[in-house]
Structure 1
């Protein structure tokens, strides 16, 4: 049982300092005390946490997992102590966030940077990937996704309304013309990427629904690459409004079929539990919602 906070604090300091002796100097403890605490922690967990050599110290796989969890535990303890002693909670600890590449670069990254600038106790580890991130297995605090999950035991907070729209570069539209109806998309180059594929479902006036099979010579598992192809005039793309709003505002992309759009795909945040949500996570969620809703829909 992990019931000794001093052992956890010492373990985290050993990892951060890179050696037992360096941790001892930083904590003003004898090397024997540091070593004893580490040995006691390994005995309690019945797990080897640190692989030692004459030159360096390395974490085992189990040690890495404990280190990530211990950082969170100690940060939450620090927040509780701050609240008790000063009447307010100063956010502490590492904020681990996952997000799709395009959304992350455009919106999540700036929010993370601003939090670090404002709050000196927060650090951020941002993972940008278009694959589905397993929040629990990968020790994330929160994952931002486009589209609500169909089945999840996680807590979800809707950050912003959103849907996909069809856009293209002016150079492509001048060359191939504007489609006048969704059916005409079948005669256009339509860039495909993971998340949309070649089957496009569009909703129109009066609740009309049209499904079209698009063709493309360019496909990618990365939304950023697909959007770059669209910007280069390679074809039309069905992309989340939030992903393309800056390019639309700057005129780099133009919307086609303005009366039509894809299914609702809200921007959502997923996290393990609403109870005892760390202050750093609450601040991140509020800042994301504020940023994503600062402008109107397209």
Structure 2
């Protein structure tokens, strides 16, 4: 009898448990039975999925691919059976979503109440972090990424583009003076990011050429939302995405500085997910609901923006 779904289930359990013995305990099988099932699976596929030469269970490249596909297939199978059992009811279940702190707070969180009105049986497991997560290791269904995408087998749906603005509060500028040239930033408290992928310099136009200013300040942080709040509080000058600051600028809490000197190359924003053809219905529903609304959010023009300080 063909029991590929059962083999997939055992394989996924082994990967997530981290060992054959722990998976056997959770499945109420003997370790030898689990080992034989995985060996039979590898024999049928003609490829090694798990490296057994180390104390820590490691997947081969093919094993990682098979694990990711098995997860989706088993989730889709479970969802199909649940919907059939409930008369073809609407999508339900858990979706793990990751986004940067600022974009999540400004754009994603506000649309969730309407999403739950449309899909009340879907649970969102939302993580906000400006660190780049591994969708496979973190078992993330959808990740909102800002910036250039690395080559991968992930699928991307473009949400839009954003530019970075250099901003400070009126109180800070009154106290310290507004910078007139990029060189003036050397005498200011410039708030920056602390993660490894962050660019430690701000590219600027100066005298007809592009220069990169290595700046410093009293605060380094791992998310743009903290930079925005500290800038509003008058701590220093920040360089963050325009969707972050258009509200505070419109309310007069922040003003843009050095607008003519700042390099405002656009950063693309994408929704990343694993595979297009085998998406569970709940993930597809989330993408189809969220992406158009996030696109409209980025396309909105800020109102009553104060002119930049020069």
Q: Same fold (TM over 0.5)?
A: yes
Cross-structure match for 1:174: 174
Deviation at 1:239, TM superposition (A): 0.4
Other structure's SS at 1:237 match: strand
Cross-structure match for 1:250: 251
Cross-structure match for 2:202: 200
Q: CA RMSD in A?
A: 3.8
Other structure's SS at 1:130 match: coil
Deviation at 1:249, TM superposition (A): 2.5
Whole-angstrom CA distance in 1 between matches of 2:167 and 2:78: 44
Deviation at 1:39, TM superposition (A): 4.4
**Aligned with residue 285 of structure 2, among 263, 283, 289:** 283
Other structure's SS at 1:3 match: helix
Other structure's SS at 1:124 match: strand
Whole-angstrom CA distance in 2 between matches of 1:257 and 1:145: 27
Equivalent residues of 1:199, 1:211 under 8 A apart = yes
Whole-angstrom CA distance in 1 between matches of 2:254 and 2:82: 45
1:77 aligns with 2:73: no
Cross-structure match for 2:44: none
Structure 1 unpaired stretches of 5+:
12-37, 48-64
Deviation at 1:280, TM superposition (A): 2.8
Deviation at 1:40, TM superposition (A): 7.2
Greater CA drift, 101-110 or 126-135: 101-110
Equivalent residues of 2:83, 2:90 under 8 A apart = no
Superposition map of 1:14-25 within 5 A? none
1:188 aligns with 2:192: no
Whole-angstrom CA distance in 2 between matches of 1:236 and 1:71: 49
Deviation at 1:244, TM superposition (A): 2.1
Deviation at 1:176, TM superposition (A): 1.8
Q: Give the direction of change, closer, same or farther, for the CA distance of 1:161–1:45 in structure 2 (3 Å limit).
A: farther
Deviation at 1:43, TM superposition (A): 8.9
Whole-angstrom CA distance in 2 between matches of 1:4 and 1:153: 26
Q: Give the direction of change, closer, same or farther, for the CA distance of 1:254–1:102 in structure 2 (3 Å limit).
A: same
Q: What TM-score do the two structures reach when normalised by structure 1?
A: 0.69
Q: What TM-score do the two structures reach when normalised by structure 2?
A: 0.66
Deviation at 1:113, TM superposition (A): 3.6
After superposition, the C-alpha distances for 1:104-133 in whole angstroms (9 at most, x for unaligned) are 222222333432232122111111122211
Other structure's SS at 1:96 match: strand
Count of aligned pairs: 249
Q: Give the direction of change, closer, same or farther, for the CA distance of 1:257–1:2 in structure 2 (3 Å limit).
A: same
Equivalent residues of 1:72, 1:94 under 8 A apart = no
Equivalent residues of 1:170, 1:253 under 8 A apart = yes
Q: Give the direction of change, closer, same or farther, for the CA distance of 1:165–1:45 in structure 2 (3 Å limit).
A: farther
Deviation at 1:245, TM superposition (A): 2.5
Whole-angstrom CA distance in 2 between matches of 1:105 and 1:213: 29
Cross-structure match for 1:101: 101
Other structure's SS at 1:186 match: helix
Superposition map of 1:101-180 within 5 A? 101-180=101-180
Whole-angstrom CA distance in 1 between matches of 2:77 and 2:31: 18
Structure 2 unpaired stretches of 5+:
14-26, 37-66, 303-310
Equivalent residues of 1:107, 1:292 under 8 A apart = no
Greater CA drift, 275-284 or 137-146: 275-284
